[in-house]
């Protein structure tokens, strides 16, 4: 369970507990279990039963119920991508790929934070140089997320367990060799496309590392030659290829 769900669960427990204490405290609302009035007792018992049901349902929804995922095309935040990839975390034959994609997202956030800190040390936020660096970093991040969307689109239509069921030894002669080969080729094509997206994002992360190194080595005399920096030129070329990554 992630931190957000844990906090929601703790908030639910605290909220229900406080409500019960307020209502059942003697002298506040006149509701008391075992009091003189049968109506008071019935109301108190009913409150406790309802509280228990709310806690049980809330715990189920937060602990076991899968989160509602946003459509891939509408995903924008880091949390959106994490939640969507986590949905496929246990997909047969793809666990390592999903874990790799989640690790890449985590590393991207850390590199963005480090880059922002270094840029803040080298430039004033109002400077044109600062804005140029940030615009390139933002554009590369968008390309990175396009690759994640590509992975998610493939996962949404890919059934990794289908091939093993299709070619299981239970039905070794049920299908022709040609059909099995075509099914296997399609399976491998899906895997290759996911690997391709992961590789493209690994390249982006490497370029961000290079950019960080180049920025850290900048002297004041170099500030006017940002566009000539090798890594900036590489990133600019990569950004221009964005149209080839569109879904």
> 45 with 33: CB under 8 angstroms?
yes
What is the residue extent of each domain of the chain? 3-63, 72-244
Tens digit of each residue's pLDDT (9 = 90 or more) over 45-75:
777 788 888 877 777 666 665 555 667 777 8
Q: What is the pLDDT of residue 64?
A: 62
Q: What is the pLDDT of residue 180?
A: 72
Q: What is the mean pLDDT of the chain?
A: 78
Torsion of CA 76, 79, 82, 83, to 10 degrees: -100
Residue 40 half-sphere exposure, CB side, CA atoms within 13 Å?
15
* pTM > 0.85: yes or no: no
Q: What is the pLDDT of residue 200?
A: 92
Share of the chain above pLDDT 70, in %: 71
Task: Give the model's confidence band at 229: pLDDT under 50 very low, under 70 low, under 90 confident, else very high.
Answer: confident
Euclidean distance between CA atoms 115 and 82, whole angstroms? 21
Euclidean distance between CA atoms 203 and 183, whole angstroms? 30
| Both structure tokens of 17 | 């507990």
Q: Is the pLDDT of residue 144 over 70?
A: yes
Tens digit of each residue's pLDDT (9 = 90 or more) over 120-137:
888 888 888 888 888 889
Q: What is the pLDDT of residue 161?
A: 52
Ramachandran class of 175: left when φ > 0, alpha when ψ lies in -120 to 50, beta otherwise:
beta
């Amino acid at each position: 369970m992630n931190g957000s769900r844990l906090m929601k669960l703790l908030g639910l427990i605290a909220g229900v507990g406080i409500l019960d204490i307020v209502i059942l405290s003697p002298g506040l609302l006149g509701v008391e279990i075992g009091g003189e009035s049968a109506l008071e007792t019935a109301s108190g018992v009913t409150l406790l039963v309802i509280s228990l049901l709310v806690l049980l349902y809330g715990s189920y929804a937060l602990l076991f119920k899968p989160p509602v995922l946003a459509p891939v095309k509408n995903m924008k935040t880091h949390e959106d991508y994490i939640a969507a990839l986590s949905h496929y975390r246990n997909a047969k034959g793809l666990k390592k790929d999903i874990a790799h994609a989640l690790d890449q997202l985590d590393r991207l956030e850390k590199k963005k934070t480090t880059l922002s800190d270094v840029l803040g040390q080298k430039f004033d936020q109002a400077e044109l140089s600062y804005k140029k660096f940030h615009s390139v970093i933002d554009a590369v991040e968008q390309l990175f997320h396009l690759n994640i969307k590509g992975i998610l689109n493939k996962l949404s239509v890919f059934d990794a367990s289908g091939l093993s069921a299709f070619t299981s030894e239970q039905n070794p002669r049920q299908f022709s060799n040609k059909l099995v080969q075509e099914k296997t080729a399609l399976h491998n094509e899906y895997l290759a496309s996911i690997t391709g997206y992961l590789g493209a994002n690994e390249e982006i992360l490497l370029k961000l590392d290079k950019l960080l190194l180049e920025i850290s080595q900048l002297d004041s005399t170099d500030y006017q030659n940002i566009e000539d920096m090798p890594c900036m030129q590489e990133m600019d070329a990569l950004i221009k290829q964005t149209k080839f990554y569109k879904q």
